[in-house]
């Protein structure tokens, strides 16, 4: 584990807070691996019915840590580690067998946008915004976004480079609710209370159906998504 991820446990849920505010909660290899390790453990915990993912500070996540790509350019072995971490992270988050809620406390950019759309439900602060600036130099994760908003909007956000403010995201059903920043915690708590009424095994069966309908491939790699 790393100090870059704060893990808080409730009676029937957990909250994971990306804790790199000085780097806009950029998803480093260490942070991605910590998220993957934690979700693997939580998936096996019979007390857990749901998991919340949020960011420390005013940004949800600015995406992958681009400094590490610079490092990988000069270090082939590290680049292999970087991509293996990425593949595992995407498979673990998207395939998590229980409900995942994104509490989007601010901008969700590039890989941070991907993290939000791989969750099952999204509650956004009014300060949230969504974009894929990495399209100017590399691939984007397309499939989970398409599953949420359909082909026309997904193409507009990826091929077309459209950016969304929180209220626009709500109108397009990308997020489930938009609230003021100070109300985000209470809004997420209300969502958790509704989710956790259901038995854990029922939640897992519903999630499995959702993943099948989305065409989830447990062997998928980042650049294929």
Distance CA 210, CA 213 (A): 5
For residue 1, pLDDT over 60 is answered with no
pLDDT of residue 74: 84
Domain count, the chain: 1
pLDDT category at 158 given cuts 50, 70, 90 is very high
pLDDT of residue 224: 87
Task: Answer for the pair 50, 100: CB distance below 8 angstroms, yes or no.
Answer: yes
Q: What is the pLDDT of residues 14-59, one digit of tens each?
A: 999 999 999 999 999 999 999 999 999 999 999 999 999 999 999 9
Span 143-160, average pLDDT:
95
For residue 136, pLDDT over 80 is answered with yes
Q: Is 22 a catalytic residue?
A: no
Structural domain that includes position 103: 5-224
Task: Answer for the pair 4, 56: CB distance below 8 angstroms, yes or no.
Answer: no
Q: What is the CATH number of the domain that holds 84?
A: 3.90.226.10
Catalytic choice (76, 134, 167, 180): 134
DSSP 3-state of 12? coil
Cβ neighbours for 25, distance < 8 A, ≥ 6 positions apart: 18, 19, 55, 56, 57, 59, 60, 61, 62, 112
Residue 214, judged by CB atoms within 10 A of its CB (0-12, 13-18, 19+), counts as middle
């Amino acid at each position: 584990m790393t100090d870059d991820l704060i893990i808080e446990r409730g009676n029937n849920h957990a909250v994971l807070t990306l804790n790199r505010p000085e780097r806009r909660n950029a998803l480093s290899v260490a942070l991605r691996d910590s998220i993957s390790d934690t979700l693997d453990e939580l998936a096996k915990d019979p007390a857990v019915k749901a998991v919340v993912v949020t960011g420390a500070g005013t940004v949800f996540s600015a995406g992958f840590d681009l400094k590490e790509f610079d490092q990988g350019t000069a270090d082939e072995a590290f680049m292999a580690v970087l991509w293996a971490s990425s593949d595992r992270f995407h498979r673990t988050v998207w395939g998590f067998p229980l409900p995942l809620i994104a509490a989007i406390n601010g901008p969700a950019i590039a890989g941070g946008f991907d993290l939000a759309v791989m969750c099952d439900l999204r509650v956004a602060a009014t300060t949230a915004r969504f974009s894929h600036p990495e399209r100017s130099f590399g691939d984007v994760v397309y499939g989970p976004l398409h599953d949420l908003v359909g082909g026309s909007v997904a193409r507009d956000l990826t091929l077309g480079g459209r950016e969304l403010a929180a209220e626009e995201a709500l109108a397009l059903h990308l997020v489930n609710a938009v609230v003021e920043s100070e109300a985000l915690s209470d809004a997420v708590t209300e969502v958790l209370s509704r989710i956790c009424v259901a038995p854990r095994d029922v939640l897992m069966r519903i999630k499995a159906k959702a993943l099948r309908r989305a065409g989830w491939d447990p062997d998928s790699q980042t650049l294929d998504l």
